[in-house]
């Protein structure tokens, strides 16, 4: 999809006239006096959390931001594979893929051996390894991601719009404050004949600070960012240009001999490019002199680095300068030994790092992807409040790992190339190897949460060696039984707060008397210890809390839909309509037709015994169990869900 050929314009590129893409700001209205969750900050972390919580009509949410309207341009642009898997759960991954630039290869450039003042290509590598994810690594304006989340918020049962032009002034937590123990004072500036101060007070059950590195929420609960800076200044700009640089439409990492280093990221639309440019090293305590910096300075620096090539910049759509620093907060919530958390931090409010590895937005949304379903379960009575402790435990460990990775990545990227004159520099070939080694990390699929109430001990991991307990569910192709449609199994995961329970059948004939899936369905339908019976609220759809699905090994044409157990064809909605999309078969189609990918082989699933795979609402594998381990299944859900009347 090509656009921006006649200049950069924000908004939906499908509009021929850019003015038609302008979205009117929401109607200004007062904040509610009481909410279940107050979200501070309309960045990706805050909007992701709001999008999750508004899935539940009974949860009252408000989200505030100091800006006067939605984001239009600039800031983050890299969307990792794991983040795209999350977007699929919301239903807008396809639109993002259509608009975005897809990163397929990365090119590496270093000083030319025969003329060190010029750069020369040292190699190209595949950006995303085969079968790392069914989703690609993409580049798109962060504002478009915000637009997608805002649409989800409007369309969800919660029907939420942000409250803009709001600044948090104060936050107090009263342990004895009853159902709404957090009090937030918010300033609203209203322009009549002159600006006048209006103070609004909001009582909340929980507050989540997604308000950036200078977080007011973090300061209000007495936390701080700790870490260090590398005393390196970088400029970044989005430009429309002509150039003779041959890899301008590839992600390109450039080390020059004496002019600094640069990262080129092609942008969506086919014409725009983002350029990260190394500026002079800073002294201890020094800040970038933004008042002396211009886009012309950045363009000139880029042209010095890229010699013998040149860039003829036609338009600078956005530019900024920043200093690299890696910091993490002392705690991700305000819990104490005597009191459960009422205030949480997410995104840049609890970790900051350089943007070049593309982890800022991606890590931020994964924070609230982890927190959102846990808050929803507590607020809807599905789970006890103790589950909220796992948010800080899981995300702080990953946040620290991100800081450590980013520190080394930034050091290697910013260092001068190794040479006879600079023996302590970084070998560009070593940097290329590091880039490939940490492909899983930068794709966002390397996270593995430790055993806890929401992660099992992996005792039966050998039954599905490629679906690692504590890591995200690694999707694979299957064929849906009812309509013979080839699909990705992981795309069953919706952003609806439900657990997924996958029953991978063994060798027995599907739904025969020896079939383990049939026996499991009998347990789930009839036994008093069945998690379906104990944790599904009266009147709710049978898959609203635990969504049971099955995968069989025979060809889909050899399995009759009429033989399926009612647990695998639940009746839903006000008319009790039967759901026909719960059962799948191995993709036994010919390779020539795009088939031949056996999920059992791809994910190391035991073909004789089969297995059960429990997947959390945030798509992480909670446990792998034998098909007939009903006690283990009941025990897991007893530890994470609250029995319903």
Kindly report, residue by residue over 413-460, the tens digit of the pLDDT. Answer: 666 677 666 776 777 777 777 676 677 878 889 899 999 999 999 999
At 62, list the tokens.
Answer: 């408000």
312 and 388 assigned to the same domain: no
**What's the Cα-to-Cα distance from 406 to each of 262, 266, 275, 433, rounded to whole Å?**
16, 22, 19, 16
Structural domain tally of the chain? 3
pLDDT of 66: 92
Residue-wise pLDDT for 316-369, tens only, equals: 999 988 776 778 888 899 999 888 999 999 999 998 876 655 677 899 999 999
Residue-wise pLDDT for 537-583, tens only, equals: 999 999 999 999 999 999 999 999 999 999 999 999 999 999 999 99
Position 116 in a domain: no
**Marked catalytic residue, from 164, 206, 276, 620:** 276
Position 7 in a domain: no
495 and 526 assigned to the same domain: yes
261 and 144 assigned to the same domain: no
Domain that holds residue 607: 461-638
CATH number at residue 478: 3.40.30.20
280 and 371 assigned to the same domain: no
299 and 153 assigned to the same domain: no
d(CA 74, CA 141): 6
Peptide bond into 308 cis (omega under 30): yes
310 and 171 assigned to the same domain: no
**Marked catalytic residue, from 36, 65, 77, 406:** 77
Q: Quick check: is 355 catalytic?
A: yes
Position 437 in a domain: yes
DSSP string for residues in 194-247 = SEEEEEEEEEEEEEEE---TT-HHHHHTT--EEEEEEEEEEEEEEEEEEE--TT
Position 454 in a domain: no
When pLDDT is cut at 50, 70 and 90, the band that residue 402 belongs to is: confident
**Marked catalytic residue, from 82, 166, 267, 480:** 267
221 and 232 assigned to the same domain: no
CB atoms within 10 A of CB 290: 10
Q: Quick check: is 584 catalytic?
A: no
pLDDT of 420: 67
53 and 68 assigned to the same domain: yes
Position 130 in a domain: no
Position 419 in a domain: yes
601 and 490 assigned to the same domain: yes
pLDDT above 80: residue 121: yes
Q: Which of 310-324, 361-375, 506-520, 625-639 has the lowest mean pLDDT?
A: 310-324
216 and 72 assigned to the same domain: yes
pLDDT of 414: 66
243 and 94 assigned to the same domain: no
d(CA 431, CA 448): 25
Q: Quick check: is 549 catalytic?
A: no
When pLDDT is cut at 50, 70 and 90, the band that residue 285 belongs to is: low
CATH number at residue 350: 3.50.50.60
Q: Quick check: is 101 catalytic?
A: no
Q: Considering only CA atoms, which of 579, 615, 614, 586 is closest in space to residue 600? A: 586
577 and 605 assigned to the same domain: yes
Position 109 in a domain: no
Position 290 in a domain: yes
Q: Are 33 and 25 in contact (CB under 8 A)?
A: no
Give the E-state strand segments of 567-635 in sequence order.
Answer: 571-572, 577-578, 583-586, 611-615, 621-625
CATH number at residue 435: 3.30.9.10
Residue-wise pLDDT for 28-72, tens only, equals: 889 999 999 999 999 999 999 999 999 999 999 999 999 988 888
When pLDDT is cut at 50, 70 and 90, the band that residue 229 belongs to is: low
């Amino acid at each position: 999809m090509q656009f921006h050929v006649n200049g950069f314009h924000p908004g939906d590129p499908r509009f021929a006239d850019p003015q038609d893409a302008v979205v009117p700001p929401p109607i200004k209205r007062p904040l509610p006096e009481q909410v279940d969750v107050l979200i501070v900050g309309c960045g990706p972390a805050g909007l992701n959390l709001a999008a999750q919580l508004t899935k539940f009509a009974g949860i009252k949410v408000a989200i505030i931001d100091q800006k006067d309207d939605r984001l239009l341009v600039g800031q983050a642009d890299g969307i990792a594979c794991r983040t795209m898997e999350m977007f699929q759960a919301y239903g807008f991954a396809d639109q993002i893929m259509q608009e975005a630039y897809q990163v397929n290869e990365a090119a590496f450039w270093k000083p030319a051996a025969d003329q060190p003042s010029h750069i020369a290509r040292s190699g190209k590598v595949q950006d995303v390894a085969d079968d790392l994810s069914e989703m690609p690594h993409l580049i798109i304006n962060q504002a478009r991601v915000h637009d997608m989340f805002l649409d989800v918020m409007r369309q969800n049962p919660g029907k939420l719009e942000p409250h803009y032009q709001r600044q948090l002034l104060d936050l107090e937590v009263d342990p004895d404050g009853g159902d709404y123990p957090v009090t937030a004072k918010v300033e609203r500036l209203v322009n009549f004949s002159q600006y006048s101060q209006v103070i609004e007070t909001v009582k909340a059950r929980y507050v989540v600070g997604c308000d950036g590195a200078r977080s007011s929420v973090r300061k209000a609960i007495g936390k701080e960012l700790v870490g260090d800076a590398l005393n390196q200044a970088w400029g970044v700009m989005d430009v429309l240009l002509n150039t003779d640089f041959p890899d301008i439409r590839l992600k390109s990492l450039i080390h020059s001999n004496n002019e600094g280093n640069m990262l080129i990221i092609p942008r969506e639309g086919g014409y725009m490019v983002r350029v990260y440019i190394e500026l002079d090293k800073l002294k201890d305590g020094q800040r970038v002199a933004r008042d002396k910096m211009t886009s012309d300075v950045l363009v000139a620096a880029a042209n010095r680095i890229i010699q013998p090539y040149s860039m003829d910049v036609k338009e600078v759509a956005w530019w900024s300068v920043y200093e690299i620093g890696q910091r993490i907060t002392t705690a991700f919530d305000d819990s104490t030994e005597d009191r459960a958390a009422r205030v949480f931090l997410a995104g840049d409010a609890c970790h900051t790092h350089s943007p070049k590895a593309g982890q800022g937005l991606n890590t931020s949304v994964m924070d609230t992807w982890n927190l959102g379903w846990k808050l929803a379960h507590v607020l809807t009575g599905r789970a006890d409040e103790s589950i909220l402790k796992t948010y800080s435990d899981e995300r702080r460990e990953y946040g620290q790992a991100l800081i450590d990775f980013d520190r080394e990545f930034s050091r290697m990227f910013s260092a001068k190339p190794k040479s006879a004159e600079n023996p302590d520099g970084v070998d560009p070939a070593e940097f290329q190897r590091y880039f490939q080694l940490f492909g899983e990390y930068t794709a966002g699929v390397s996270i593995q949460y430790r055993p806890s109430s929401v992660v099992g001990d992996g005792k039966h991991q050998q039954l599905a060696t490629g679906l690692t307990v504590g890591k995200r569910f690694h999707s694979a192709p299957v064929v849906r039984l009812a309509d013979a449609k080839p699909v990705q199994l992981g795309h069953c995961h919706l952003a609806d707060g439900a657990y997924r329970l996958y029953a991978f059948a063994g060798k027995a004939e599907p739904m025969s008397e020896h079939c383990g899936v049939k026996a499991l369905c009998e347990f789930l339908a009839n036994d008093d210890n069945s998690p379906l019976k104990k944790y599904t609220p009266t009147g709710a759809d049978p898959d609203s809390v635990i969504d049971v699905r099955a995968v069989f090994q025979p060809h889909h044409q050899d399995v009759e839909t009429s033989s399926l157990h009612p647990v695998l064809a639940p009746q839903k909605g006000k008319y009790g309509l039967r759901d026909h999309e719960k059962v799948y078969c191995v993709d036994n189609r010919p390779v020539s037709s795009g088939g031949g990918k056996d999920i059992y082989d791809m994910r190391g699933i035991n073909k004789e015994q089969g297995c059960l795979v429990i997947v959390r609402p945030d798509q992480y594998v909670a446990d792998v169990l034998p098909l007939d381990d009903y006690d283990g299944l009941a025990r897991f859900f007893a530890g994470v869900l609250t029995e319903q009347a």
